[in-house]
Structure 1
Amino acid sequence: MSLLRTFRFQSRGLVTTTKKWTAPKGPTGIVMLNMGGPSSLSEVYDFLYRLFADEDLIPLGRYQKQLAKFIAWRRTPMITEHYDDIGGGSPIRKWSEYQATEMCKTLDKLSPESAPHMPYVAFRYAAPLTEDTLKQMQADGIKRAVAFTQYPQYSCSTTGSSLNEISKLSKKLDPNNEISWSVIDRWPVHAGLIKTFATLIRDKLEEYDDSVKNNVVLLFSAHSLPMSVVNRGDPYPAEVASTVSHVMAELGFSNPYRLVWQSQVGPSAWLGAQTADTVKSLVAKGETNVILIPIAFTSDHIETLHELDLEMIAEAGVPGIKRASSLNGHPMFIEALADIVKNHLQEKKTSSKQYEMTCPMCTKEVCINSRKFFLQ
């Protein structure tokens, strides 16, 4: 490929062609990526500051860091109360570490040629932070690693931000690229994921009388995105919709359903319809049998335990409004995680074909640079 053609590909957001991943022998680090959450009430401010300071997640303009400090200070008392309501902190670290550990145990049996597999968790906004995890991996002598996003559906605001962070930190902490990386950047329609969601929905449907079971409305709820992110071509809405469609196909399209969006922050336009507004509208129309399904989350955290369970379901006070259990430690889900990594390791690719392309309207140099890092 000529230098001119390479430049044209990069200017269009196409970095390179997916190539085979060659890595040294030895332990394989499996790094579970997520935004994380404060494990204690004292961590809430720092968590919120890091979250709002991340322009990949919530773009606030040229004064991002200053605004982040103000927003975090303003919201800390209320968010601290919310975490106090669900037990004094987020359970996402507990679940992430459990999922990573159990997955690696299964992986050692499924993929002995890449064993032993060592589990790591790298959070974007809470401990264990990505930087601390990378330092621990170096101390453990890891030479090959898989960055495994725990956002099944890709967004530059979530998975993209985590991969950008690994890329930037690796240049500082591992300038000689002693750790060889590959990326599992999305898995929205993996059979194990779909079957686990379908199983959890069926379990919840069993709580309804047979006379109404097939008319229960299934509301698939995913974290919303600012429309500024959607309009630059972020693939997240389409990939979430694909997950929903596959789950409904697994269920035989047995019930009416909709995809809705939660957790909007600030006055700017976000992807809708909003989950809270939809629940209120359904109740007002007499639809009192509804199951909320957190379709873009791999474990419980504040968006499920507080936003869905307390702010929507408890406040509605309607017995027929329920929530399907989160994936958490479900054995079928753990098997799915291991299968995803096993297949990735066997394919020996650095990433999916989709990761090579940035959002069509993206102009961020950091997105191009992170792809250069992972696809080198």
Structure 2
Amino acid sequence: MGNYDALVVVSFGGPERPEDVLPFLENVVRGRGVPRERLLAVEAHYQRFGGVSPINQQCRELVAALEGVVDVPVYWGNRNWHPYLTDTVRQMAADGVRRAAAFATAATSSYSSCRQYIEDIARATREVQDAPRLVKLPHFYDHPGFIAAMTDRTRAALDEVGEDARLVFTAHSVPLSMAAKSGPRGGAYEAELRAASALVAQACGTGDFDLVWQSRSGPPQVPWLEPDVCDHLEELHAQGTEAVVLVPIGFVSDHMEVRYDLDLEAAAKAAELGLRLARAGTAGTHPRFVSMIKELMDGPEPVPCPVDCCVIGSGRPARTPPTG
């Protein structure tokens, strides 16, 4: 068992004021050579929503829900914006925490969804004197709690547009090179997302579903996972599909990509095509998702990832990674 004396939710972070958007994005891409015009384009996405990402408020709600379930103090720290993880670890040390479970708000294996969290946790603990040991909890893409939460969200969306709707699961696209190096044997990112999608589809009574990608960024000459969700909607329309449920299986809360790429862009594409469309909710604070985190804490000690797992080398692709 874990025997932790605290839990820390480790998330991506996001701006909560218009003037914070560009500094936040500069934090996200620092050292990656992302062109200024790309940052300004992404900034415009945030400004359409008042400069506020939904992710921080959803983290607050998750922390509040966890406080009613776990019997240890619950903290929260971000990788890219306030409250920064290093500041949170400093507070944990001051509070006398010695060993804490770290729950990263990403379910799968890849550099962006796992290895980078491990690196940031290690960096934060190095920078704090007498820092507690943080043990990253394992991946949960196929955990019954996550699947149950996403099944409920998907069924609710099916109720909106009809049981005949095509299930289309979405996740953040990544470069093919990153996808190929995910997990100890490679290819884990796509395989895990496909497995999670199959479990949710099966729980909804069907074996038919599609897994597509969203939020691609980076230079056009670099190949990324495809097809794009909007391109896929066009293909489904051409095949005679009349209704679609989009299920953001790759996100545990409403990131800006979910709000912008699905609720705006994909919804506009569906309206243009005359498709009935509903978007399933993310796991958020679903009771089964919250109880899943406690189950992960109470489970066996996580096995550390191999040192070369999900490592993409020094030549990181110039890209805008998942943003809050």
3-state SS in 2 of match to 1:173? coil
* 2:293 equivalent among 325, 337, 359: 337
Who is 1:264 aligned against? 216
Who is 2:14 aligned against? 37
Who is 2:227 aligned against? 273
3-state SS in 1 of match to 2:102? strand
TM-score (norm 2): 0.86
CA distance in 1, matches of 2:311, 2:8: 29
Kindly report which structure 2 residues correspond to 1:136-155, keeping only aligned pairs within 5 A, or say none.
136-155=91-110
Q: Deviations 1:308-358 (Å, cap 9, x if unpaired)?
A: 0101113431351121122223233222333332x33xx2x1x236x2363
- Pairwise CA RMSD: 2.3
Structure 1: unaligned runs, 5 residues or longer = 1-19, 54-63, 109-116, 365-376
- State whether structure 2 residue 192 is matched by structure 1 residue 239: yes
**Amino acid of the residue matched to residue 193 of structure 1?**
F
Who is 1:104 aligned against? 67
CA distance in 1, matches of 2:204, 2:278: 18
Kindly report which structure 2 residues correspond to 1:244-255, keeping only aligned pairs within 5 A, or say none.
244-253=197-206
Who is 1:359 aligned against? 309
> Residues 299 and 21 (structure 1 numbering): CA distance in 2 closer, same or farther, change over 3 Å?
closer
Who is 1:202 aligned against? 155
C-alpha displacement at 1:77, in angstroms?
Answer: 3.6
Who is 2:173 aligned against? 224
CA distance in 2, matches of 1:302, 1:225: 16
> Residues 217 and 44 (structure 1 numbering): CA distance in 2 closer, same or farther, change over 3 Å?
same
Q: Is the 8 A contact 2:115 2:310 kept in 1?
A: no
* 1:193 equivalent among 125, 130, 146: 146
Specify which structure has the higher proportion of helix.
1
Among all aligned residue pairs of Structure 1 and Structure 2, give the percentage whose two residues are the same amino acid: 28
> Residues 253 and 127 (structure 1 numbering): CA distance in 2 closer, same or farther, change over 3 Å?
same
3-state SS in 2 of match to 1:120? strand
**Amino acid of the residue matched to residue 172 of structure 1?**
E
Name which one, 1 or 2, has greater alpha-carbon Rg: 1
> Residues 139 and 187 (structure 1 numbering): CA distance in 2 closer, same or farther, change over 3 Å?
same
CA distance in 1, matches of 2:55, 2:161: 29
Q: Is the 8 A contact 2:54 2:255 kept in 1?
A: yes
- State whether structure 2 residue 26 is matched by structure 1 residue 49: yes
3-state SS in 2 of match to 1:145? strand
C-alpha displacement at 1:89, in angstroms?
Answer: 0.6
CA distance in 2, matches of 1:326, 1:157: 19
> Residues 76 and 230 (structure 1 numbering): CA distance in 2 closer, same or farther, change over 3 Å?
closer
C-alpha displacement at 1:21, in angstroms?
Answer: 6.1
* 1:282 equivalent among 231, 236, 257: 236
C-alpha displacement at 1:170, in angstroms?
Answer: 1.7
Q: Is the 8 A contact 1:151 1:159 kept in 2?
A: yes
C-alpha displacement at 1:229, in angstroms?
Answer: 1.0
Who is 2:118 aligned against? 163
> Residues 22 and 191 (structure 1 numbering): CA distance in 2 closer, same or farther, change over 3 Å?
closer
CA distance in 2, matches of 1:300, 1:357: 31
3-state SS in 1 of match to 2:112? coil
Who is 2:88 aligned against? 133
CA distance in 1, matches of 2:245, 2:277: 6
Q: Is the 8 A contact 2:161 2:278 kept in 1?
A: no
CA distance in 1, matches of 2:8, 2:310: 28
CA distance in 2, matches of 1:196, 1:352: 25
TM-score (norm 1): 0.75
Q: Is the 8 A contact 2:8 2:103 kept in 1?
A: yes
Structure 2: unaligned runs, 5 residues or longer = 315-324
Q: Is the 8 A contact 2:169 2:248 kept in 1?
A: yes
CA distance in 2, matches of 1:331, 1:247: 17
Q: Deviations 1:163-199 (Å, cap 9, x if unpaired)?
A: 111212322323x5x5123221311111111111111
Q: Deviations 1:59-88 (Å, cap 9, x if unpaired)?
A: xxxxx45x24xx2x3234433332232343
3-state SS in 1 of match to 2:73? strand
C-alpha displacement at 1:280, in angstroms?
Answer: 2.0
CA distance in 2, matches of 1:226, 1:102: 35
Q: Is the 8 A contact 2:14 2:24 kept in 1?
A: yes
Kindly report which structure 2 residues correspond to 1:297-308, keeping only aligned pairs within 5 A, or say none.
297-308=251-262
Q: Is the 8 A contact 1:223 1:261 kept in 2?
A: yes
**Amino acid of the residue matched to residue 74 of structure 1?**
E
